[in-house]
Structure 1
Amino acid sequence: MRAVHFILYSSFPCYSGGRENWLYHVGKELVQRGYMVYVYSLESDRAVFYEDLEKSTGIRVFSVSSLQRSSITFHRLNRVLVGFPLVLDALWLFPRRVGRTLRENLESGEVLVAMGPLTELMAALNAVRGSESRQKVVCSVRGLVVQEYASVAPWSSPLLRWLELRNMAQSDLLLANGYDTAAYLRKLGFESQVVPNGVSTAMFAAPRTDDPELADLASFRAQGVLIILVVGTLRRIKGVEEAIRAAPYLKERLGRPFCIVFVGKGNPKRLQGLARKLHVERHVHFLGERRNIAGCLNLADVVLSVSLGAGMSMSTLEAMAAGRPIVAWRHPIYTQLIDDGKTGLLVDTANSAALAAAVEQIVANPSLAAQLGQEAQATVRAYDWSRVVDRLEHLISCLY
């Protein structure tokens, strides 16, 4: 039986995010196609998010102990020690321990997929170094990893950049999660193959609606409140502040009750303060993390795609699959997915006034809203998980 080994510097299956969601769905699809799928990730004290992982999907997870086992303590230590614990854990402890575990499980001809060019790729390269077996190392580049690490440990940036380039030069295949990521890699001197994010088109087209998680949104809907949904963690890079800054403009323009609802993990305290400062606290609501994203999208009137970073936006693909009208930044993350005026509306990046104007345009024109949703739903079928895995499986087979 064919086997694929995924390495992820994250507390999967306890943590949910873009990389974790991609791995969960891709792994599940590969198992259905007869592959053995192994995941090497961080041991964690968090509650399990993907509860059906090993029981229902057949994916086997090896949890590796590291300094991150207690996430709260780890984050506090990083603030005090200027990111030194992160660098120690990510560049030495985790790669070393995963490499040792991998060597116990690897057989000739199997494929390792590192879910990042730093920590994960170091672990994969450590595992195959000196081996005479025919294992292949694939690196999936999903975002600007050096910048993310350097935001915690600024002093480490030159080292991280050197390691990233060195690691990628030793991999057998580089995957990019979007055409913008592929362009970034090309500037660094590397060619890559695009394997995009995906979406369960059937699930998002017909979601489960009898769910207690949807109670708040259902209440807004019953009261006639316009629901403007933003899906993503409450981090600055996700555009949450710009979305809140659109609320005063929406108060002037809409002339009806509305609420910008944020779905995603994170502490909302800072953002609640911003809403109070702008006198829009009644128009902003934080749901927290939810499993039933499809159900949340089903109750939304408009979806805002306001994140920055790199790669095809998974939350935007999900909104398209749900048939929701989308307003997004005119940024490579979204221009590679959205045809302006056909499958969504694009506005200048970080322009909250323009964001509000586009929402008003959709709300004032129900036929436009329906048309945008229908066209988006038709377009996104090309990103169903089965097609994403078709692409990945073909690229892996070409390695041998």
Structure 2
Amino acid sequence: MKLVFIFDSTYPYYTGGIETWIYHVCEKMISKHDITIFTVKNYRKGNEAGKFTDINPKIKIIPVSNLNHIKILRPFVRSYIAVYNSNITVYSMRKAIKKYLDRNEKYYFIGLGTVFAAKTARLLKKDFPNSKMVASCRSLHPEVLGETYPGIGGIAKRMEKKNLQAMDAIWANGLDTQAALKKKGFHSIVIKNGVDFDRYDQVEPFDYSKLDLENEIKLVTIGTVQKIKGYYAIIDAVKYLKEFYNIKVHLVGLGKGNIEKFNKYAENLGVAEQVHLLGEHRNVVSYAKGGDVNVCAAGGGGYGMSILESMISKRPIVAWDSAIYRQLLQDGVSAKLVDNWNTKALADGIYFVLKNPVVANSWVECARERAREFDWSEVVREIEAACDNIK
């Protein structure tokens, strides 16, 4: 098969969730399939946000430019201009794809996102009549855009609807995402996120004594430093917990622009000494394994990689009792699930785990075995079967 992935990332720079998905999927599929990735040219000065460096050279990566690559304009590509810039990226990608690919060939165009990436795929339908167009819903993109840019949500939902109506297939990254798409009137199949189970299972725990934290209780959460990842809620929970424990919460994730904001929030709550934003680290599973409790408090949707990584850690998990986590975890069997977005309930859940270590540790093997079902080899099989079944 000839697979073409489309998304508005600077891949192979910045190694977040979609980038990690692309990397593992393509590395495992390239031996049998032809793969091209259309992405955005890097516009940062360095690699501080991360970069994949060992990509198979058979995988073709074609970057395009947008407003970020015009020096005089780049400082202004913020807020609502960033949304306009995403549309610029759509047309840059369409132009590049028409230049590099043969219109008479059959490709599977896979837009990683239901708004701008799927729009690119939709516009290519006339250009590549022999090809199949797929929108892969890796998150609730219109809703996230609406939260980030108030007033944009409605526009994004209308664009998503138009895109999805034109697709030959729609993929969802979890049962909750699939249900959300069904409510919008669209049938989808689940193509999971994945995890490198065998490799992560062998990772050694991080030694927190290197940070002078040997005798403190360590809460760990993994994810981009954003509100949607539950950072405010976790910091709020720490305010309750510090009355009972010598506790530190370690937030492992990308988001330098937000670290100062969350540090300020912790300071205002009087828990600045208890909250440590560690920034981005490549080996997040090591940090999860070295902690006492893994806190999974994200919103969003789908089988999140951060929760899968936490499930491999063999450390107790406290998570929201939401559709996101219920599709992976069972309360009292593989984790402690607490009332969704209730910070007092989150604190109580963490307190329960700390007070009942024998019970909490009895959950970890069940969570680990559930994560085994999400090995990348399983994801690849799903993708191949899904493409074969597109009519």
- Tell me if TM exceeds 0.5: yes
Letter in 1 for 2:290: L
How far apart are the structure 1 equivalents of 2:193 and 2:171?
11
How far apart are the structure 2 equivalents of 1:270 and 1:87?
23
Which of 86, 91, 94 is equivalent to 2:89?
94
Q: How does 1:50-199 map to 2 (within 5 A)?
A: 50-54=51-55, 56=56, 58-69=58-69, 74=74, 76-79=76-79, 83=80, 85-91=81-87, 93-107=88-102, 108-132=105-129, 134-199=130-195
How far apart are the structure 2 equivalents of 1:306 and 1:136?
36
Tell me which residue corresponds to 1:298.
289
Q: Which secondary structure state, in structure 1, belongs to the residue aligned with residue 68 of structure 2? A: coil
How far apart are the structure 2 equivalents of 1:208 and 1:101?
43
CA distance 1:284–1:87, shift in 2 (3 Å): closer
CA distance 1:310–1:75, shift in 2 (3 Å): farther
Which of 41, 44, 53 is equivalent to 2:42?
44
Q: Which secondary structure state, in structure 2, belongs to the residue aligned with residue 346 of structure 1? A: strand
CA distance 1:318–1:70, shift in 2 (3 Å): farther
How far apart are the structure 2 equivalents of 1:270 and 1:45?
24
Shift of 1:248: 2.1
> Percent of aligned positions with the same letter in both sequences?
29
CA distance 1:322–1:153, shift in 2 (3 Å): closer
User: Structure 1, residues 302-354: CA drift from partner, whole Å, max 9, x if none?
Assistant: 10001112212210111102222110011111111111111111001122222
Q: Which secondary structure state, in structure 2, belongs to the residue aligned with residue 68 of structure 1? A: helix
Tell me which residue corresponds to 1:18.
17
How far apart are the structure 1 equivalents of 2:186 and 2:213?
53
Between the two proteins, the alignment pairs up a number of residues equal to 384
**Structure 2 contact 112–118 (Cα < 8 Å) conserved:** yes
Q: How does 1:197-276 map to 2 (within 5 A)?
A: 197-207=193-203, 217-220=208-211, 223-254=214-245, 257-266=246-255, 267-276=258-267
The unaligned stretches of length 5 or more in structure 2 are none
- Name the TM-score, length of structure 2 as normaliser: 0.92
How far apart are the structure 1 equivalents of 2:157 and 2:299?
21
**Structure 1 contact 242–352 (Cα < 8 Å) conserved:** yes
- Name the TM-score, length of structure 1 as normaliser: 0.90
CA distance 1:131–1:387, shift in 2 (3 Å): closer
How far apart are the structure 2 equivalents of 1:252 and 1:201?
37
How far apart are the structure 2 equivalents of 1:377 and 1:203?
13
How far apart are the structure 2 equivalents of 1:158 and 1:65?
27
Q: Which secondary structure state, in structure 2, belongs to the residue aligned with residue 163 of structure 1? A: helix
How far apart are the structure 2 equivalents of 1:139 and 1:71?
32
How far apart are the structure 2 equivalents of 1:6 and 1:136?
12
How far apart are the structure 1 equivalents of 2:298 and 2:239?
20
RMSD over aligned Cα atoms: 2.2
Q: Which secondary structure state, in structure 1, belongs to the residue aligned with residue 90 of structure 2? A: helix
CA distance 1:137–1:372, shift in 2 (3 Å): same
CA distance 1:218–1:75, shift in 2 (3 Å): farther
Tell me which residue corresponds to 1:35.
33
Shift of 1:105: 3.4
Tell me which residue corresponds to 1:364.
355
Shift of 1:288: 0.3
Q: Which secondary structure state, in structure 2, belongs to the residue aligned with residue 281 of structure 1? A: coil
How far apart are the structure 2 equivalents of 1:197 and 1:357?
30
Bigger share in helix: 1
The unaligned stretches of length 5 or more in structure 1 are none
How far apart are the structure 1 equivalents of 2:218 and 2:58?
38
Shift of 1:296: 1.2
CA distance 1:374–1:70, shift in 2 (3 Å): farther
How far apart are the structure 1 equivalents of 2:327 and 2:172?
13
